[in-house]
Amino acid sequence: MLLKLSINNYAIIDQLSILPDAGLNIVTGETGAGKSIILGALSLILGERADTSVLINKEKKSVIEAQFDVTNNDLFNAALKDAELDEDKYCIIRREISASGKSRAFVNDTPVTLSVLNSLTSLLVDLHQQFDNRALEDDNFQLEVVDVLAQNTVLKNDYKLLFRKHQQVQQELDGKKYQQAQWQKEADYKQFLLDELEQINFKEGEIEHATLQLKQLNASERIVTILQSSRFVLEESELPINNEIKKIAQQLQSIVDVMPDTDALQQRLLSVYAETKDIASELERLESTVNIDPQQLILLEEKVDTGNRLLKKHGVNSTDELLAIQQQLNNELQATLNLHEEIRLLEQAQEECFIQLNKKGQELSASRQQIAPEISKQITLLLASVGMPNAVFEIQITQLPKAIISGLDKLEFMLDANKSGNFQPIQKAASGGEMSRIALCIKSIIARTVHLPTLIFDEVDTGISGEAARKVAALLSELAQYHQVICITHQPQVAAKGTKHFYVFKEQNDEGKITTQVKVLEPNEKILAIARMIGGENPSDAAVGNAKELIAS
């Protein structure tokens, strides 16, 4: 609820404050007195862009400030929390416009962007001007009206959960199918690479071992020659080294008793003799291992050539790295097979989710279909009472080709303005004033069902009089029983229903400048203001009596 609106240095307003009450607040005044200027200032609080041309005094900034009681406005307080702003019983929103054109917005003294300000204040104020009927034309608003009156909140929330789940499964399925398509392009080539590696069937370190064997085979004759000659020198030459060492050891043994120091040398020579004997035996063993098999040489050459070709092909340097590539290829191809199963399960989940979504969507659609005629009938009756006796309102619901977040329906408010049987979308069939009255009728039937913000109507009663004006006044009065309403009007029937009456006028200040002022009318002043609306500047006694009757009724 709006507690206070303060405007400073804006257009022809030097300074004024408005303190509306919780009921029906009426704003009257002569044309051009500044009522629309007050709304323009309020629109800045709602997030509209600012213009420096509105500054009276270019030496100081323009400041518009509104204080709201948000005690029971759970949606607004939740939005504050989402925007990381402080919650309080009261909320103060301020706009400042400097002479340089810089505009700043504040919520409880915290700077905010215009987009944040707009989203927040939309939960506080519904500013419905005569030629601003964008909400009525919006499909989402029309659906919201029907769902509120059909009490579809739980049903719609369940549907939205299923819709988002279906979207999530669909996105995951699309991602897996795209991945499958990308993998499939490479799958055949990867299978070829894997088959090639599996056919060779390398073991760990096999290429390196085969390379070494090949080198040995290629050098086998030279190896045998060296091994044989080495053993020959040790054991089979004319003077074998082993025999000579043994002789020296024996000779030293013969003089140990006369020269004891030779005993250690003799022992060392015996050790050398044992070592060279062992070396000779090892040389003989190695010689027996050398295989000079031409067929094996060919096989080894083929294996090494194949191994080197694959190493080069895959850009690696060892058999183990090739085996790692083989394992990776195997894993990737196995993952492709697993992906088929994942896609199958996702398609199954998608189908199940779609069935649930469609079922819930049909329930939601049926609820809308059921209540639409009743809403149409109520609004048609209300339109007749507010000066549109020939208008027929109808809600048309058609099935969409596929589900969307709001359901399976396309819903449109239609109007036949002259009972011709020719229904058109309301924005085409109704004038600006008629659209305002349609909005008033809609809001009046949902007022008891849903929390609405402060409702502001700008000349919603344009183009009507008499009984129609009285009916509009009754609707506004009924709305004000549940919500704060501020209404700018030229109709005495509407003004008479006000619980608080603001009169907007112009006056010349001490500096000779014309400024807009606002005055709260006392009961007698209210009677006179309504009488002037009936009978002109100098109302007759009859006009005054009529005004009293309107107020009393």
304 residue type, one letter: V
| pLDDT the model gives residue 131 | 37
| pLDDT the model gives residue 137 | 66
| pLDDT the model gives residue 228 | 84
Is-contact 477 16, C-beta < 8 A?
no
The pLDDT averaged over each successive group of 10 residues in the chain (553 residues) is: 92 90 92 85 86 76 92 86 88 89 89 90 73 61 87 92 94 87 73 81 85 76 82 86 90 90 91 91 85 72 84 88 86 75 89 94 95 94 87 93 92 90 88 80 78 79 77 87 89 92 88 86 92 88 91 86
Domain-wise residue ranges, the chain: 1-124+453-521, 206-317
Burial of 241 (0-12, 13-18, 19+ CB in 10 A): middle
Tell whether pTM > 0.85: no
The DSSP secondary-structure symbol of 317 reads: S
Distance CA 317, CA 372 (A): 76
| pLDDT the model gives residue 12 | 84
Is-contact 474 461, C-beta < 8 A?
no
**CATH number corresponding to 1-124+453-521:** 3.40.50.300
| pLDDT the model gives residue 522 | 94
Q: How far is CA 45 from CA 24, 512, 532, in A?
A: 21, 29, 33
In the chain, count H helices and then E strands.
18, 15
Distance CA 325, CA 289 (A): 35
| pLDDT the model gives residue 132 | 46
